[in-house]
Amino acid sequence: MKKFIQPALVALYALFIIVSLFTGFDPGREIGKNFLTFTISMLKILPAAFILIGLFEVWVKKETIQKHLGEKSSLKAYFWILLLASTTVGGMYVAFPVSASLYKKGAKLSVVIAYLTAAAIFRIPMAIFEASFLGLKFTMIRFAVSLPLIVISSELLGRMIENTGIKEELFPEES
């Protein structure tokens, strides 16, 4: 049944956009325009991102990830992951596949959560943009407040997921 529902929804969406174009239904036209803009944006970012992620998969050894970011890693793991996240370009389009790769290579769940969080709010290009509009003082205060919260919340969330049995539901192939 699922094999039928997904293609049907895609076809229904495409039909809605086409009918909207011909009938002049502005919300439908706007949805189509936004979809096209998003698709072009994705096509510009994703090829380079997937090449970099592929290189990461090949060049970075599983043992290295386990040693520095794995279950037995220290607080230094958060330093390394924040450094990696701050240099991530491409936003969450890149952060999600990188985090999956980190997790598959043996990074601790809380470190992966910290990476995702930091990649969303701690990127250097975003910080430069923010500082130019809101000022360097604001950016530094935001970093000073955000960094400890990233580490604390990801550690708590990682422990909660592992201790409550939710991990088996989220990652069934590992059970």
> What's the pLDDT score for residue 41?
86
pLDDT tens-digit map of 95-117: 888 898 999 999 999 999 999 99
> What's the pLDDT score for residue 175?
47
> What's the pLDDT score for residue 102?
93
| pTM reported for the whole predicted model | 0.77
> What's the pLDDT score for residue 173?
67
**Nearest 5 degrees, angle CA 76-CA 79-CA 80?**
90
Q: How far apart are CA 77 and CA 11, in angstroms?
A: 46
Q: How far apart are CA 7 and CA 15, in angstroms?
A: 12
Supply the Cα-derived Rg of the chain in whole angstroms: 20
Cβ-contact 98, 139 below 8 angstroms: no
Residues of the chain with pLDDT under 70: 1, 170, 172-175
